[in-house]
Structure 1
């Protein structure tokens, strides 16, 4: 939301938490079309139900003549136990390895065995959002290809895919054209990324199947076995507006990602050896009351891990994943350009000998990218949406990017 950062909702970033029994009305004007979702940011509430898709239609959608019908679909993981107890265990010293709770199953539209009636020859625009807590999902439609048109609210040049990967928080719009005959029904599948799980519990149902139903009198076949999981590479998507890579950055933020224990025996996520702890006063309130110190990162607290940016700066974020797991990487209020993403096990950016000459000239752009295990990613964005934004990766870590139109201090690294 441009110019509505104060309505973004992360507790202790843009506002205080909403007390039990109270309410808060979010009042904002949406000026960016696309596929989004709404969700609580507090106490793990959204996997227990405070979430849902949010679609903003565009009368000038460039592909509006290419489909006959629009379908909104969510994919998610499902925990049989509620979040408060799961989080208490996860973030405690009785779980020193930091192993995340493993979901019990996967869901389409918060259910299983979903059927989607389709008519021969029609083209359908699927708007899909991963509203899950943890699991990335591999998604495919048997006997049909997907034509990608949008990711995270960014229109793309059409791209054909037989399988996609969607991390938690990612959204994707794609076309599926029905066959001309009605001789069979076809499964579509979401398969949880089990490499994210420290253990695979007995009986884990990591796939969920739905069906494109051409004829409801015919059987719903079991999905075929997939030989390999080889999803489309979203870093190769070309934005519809052909926006070129932003020029030389005015500021570079270098972040190391690691999971480790603190002195209390519990496992936490870290950026640059700092694990996030919410300040007592919301960061936005501090900025509004700090006067000429608002551009000084120290006033926001060491463990909120603040960076102060000047408005309209080009900012480059280099993230080295020192962890062996995949992590979705998300920034509120902005889209990243993905200048470069390494393969898995590529090591750090500094050791890679990658230069600007290796960066994409017209980079893929979205607000949530997946950081590969023991690899790195180089992102650029323009700080043109003033306010306080949270920058996070899964699970449970974040930093604050505070935007100011004033001058920044000479030293801007985290304290």
Structure 2
């Protein structure tokens, strides 16, 4: 069950149906969605929650939180947005008429540092000049939490003192959300479905496709659950209510948003799922590049064609049971949430594209989606234990639709 047409299975034709029968490999917070053009941008997705029979269930209530950025039906379709981006030139951007001029771009103040110049060590790849704008190229008119606007927020109900498990899924097409709960700290217990040693923070960033599980002991009142769209002056909002009181305003800005932010190094796997380090059989660099003039995004200067997956790209060849390392080098001014199908991986090191110095990550934490900031180099390892043809791609819907993908190809 993978859903990548022309690669791992056929697409479901209009009016047709397909029944999936599969053995669930791992419990956790997951989700399902298509990989056809920008269909996901039209709301074709759903949570997939797999309960762990061995989980002690150390919580009283459970909330599923789905974050989304929405434009379809407001003033354009996602396909029209994509067409606008492709003819936008070096300043490619879609500004919705609904909120034009009302959502200022704040990318200059975004959390990560971006080098002044991105050099390319790979022949034939020209680094992109870095514009001032670094966040999503789409100004969405609406940011939603469980399908609702901040002016009419979804309300989660519980009792004071109860422990809540909150499963956060970013189903957005192009937005990174910074999540915080007013008056509370967040204890992170899982990422992408896999347990980590509990770590407590004030706020965390969730890239498109990522999932996080949080444990919180709830106070007494009505509290804003805020998901700020990074680089924009806009947000999604929900309310966790344990008592009577006024509903938080749509623009609620809890102090926790400026508090301690979850760092990748905070995520350390629990012993039962920790991935051991092995000698490598395959070590492949994947250069993330692009062209803002045509809004085309590439891996290793090659553009993936969803209709003809093997045309014009060089897959990553692997054999069953090999130990594989992929090194993502982001040479663009954009953030790329990279997702590997059919496997989970561990983050082994983080550095920059212009330095040989790396920060090792021996924690063995397992993920399937990882945000690669501009100018950074991130190495991931995985075991080739699931034979097939598997997509590796940016989870930004518009980047995938314009070619930022390649294939992990099992060889016989």
Q: Which TM-score bucket, shorter chain as reference? A: 0.7 to 0.9
Question: What whole-Å deviation, never above 9, does each CA across 1:62-113 have from its counterpart, x for those lacking one?
Answer: x41x1012111111112133222222323x3345544333211211101022
C-alpha separation between the residues in 1 aligned to 2:307 and 2:67?
33
> For the Cα contact (< 8 Å) 1:279–1:301, is it kept in 2?
no
- Do residues 260 (structure 1) and 297 (structure 2) align? no
Does 158-167 or 359-368 show the bigger shift? 359-368
Structure 1 equivalent of residue 392 of structure 2? 391
Match of 2:144 among 103, 107, 113: 107
Whether the aligned pair in 2 keeps the contact of 1:236 and 1:363 (CA below 8 Å) is: no
TM-fit CA distance, 1:341:
2.0
Gaps of 5+ in 1: 1-6, 195-199, 284-299, 407-415
Stretch of structure 1 that moved more, 9-18 or 52-61: 9-18
Task: Assess if the C-alpha contact under 8 Å between 2:274 and 2:366 holds in 1.
Answer: no
Decide which of 246, 269, 279 is 1:219's aligned counterpart: 246
Structure 2 residue runs of 5 or longer lacking an equivalent are 94-136
Distance in 2, matches of 1:188 and 1:54, equals: 22
Conservation of the 8 A alpha-carbon contact between 1:235 and 1:338: no
Contact 1:251 1:313 in 2 (8 A): yes
Mapped contact 1:185–1:211 kept (Cα < 8 A): yes
Q: How far apart in 1 are the matches of 2:311 and 2:70? A: 36
Aligned-partner Cα distance in 2 for 1:302–1:315: 23
Q: Does 1:317 align with 2:312?
A: no
2:192 to 152, 163, 176: 152
2:180 is aligned, of 140, 143, 150, to 140
| Match of residue 346 from structure 2 | 337
Q: 2: CA distance between counterparts of 1:58 and 1:242? A: 13
Q: Which deviates more from structure 2 when the two are superposed, residues 265-274 or residues 164-173?
A: 265-274
The correspondence for 2:84, drawn from 83, 86, 89, is 89
Number of residue pairs matched? 353
Pair 229,128 (structure 1): closer, same or farther in 2 beyond 3 Å: same
2:138 is the counterpart of 1:129:
no
Q: Give deviations 1:354-383, integer Å, cap 9, x for gaps.
A: 3xxx52222322101110111110111111
- For residues 192-341 of structure 1, the aligned pairs below 5 Å read 192-194=229-231, 206-216=234-244, 218-222=245-249, 223-224=252-253, 226=255, 228=258, 231-240=261-270, 241=272, 243-260=274-291, 266-278=294-306, 280=308, 300-303=310-313, 305-341=314-350
- Tell me the equivalent position of 2:409: 402
In the TM superposition, what whole-angstrom CA distance separates every residue of 1:207-235 from its partner, at most 9, and x where no partner exists?
1222221223x112342464737520134
Q: Which protein shows a greater Rg?
A: 1
User: CA–CA distance in 1 between the matches of 2:279 and 2:183?
Assistant: 45
| 1:228-259 alpha-carbon deviations (Å, 9 max, x no partner) | 37520134211112625422211111011111
Structure 1 runs of 4+ with >6 Å offset: none
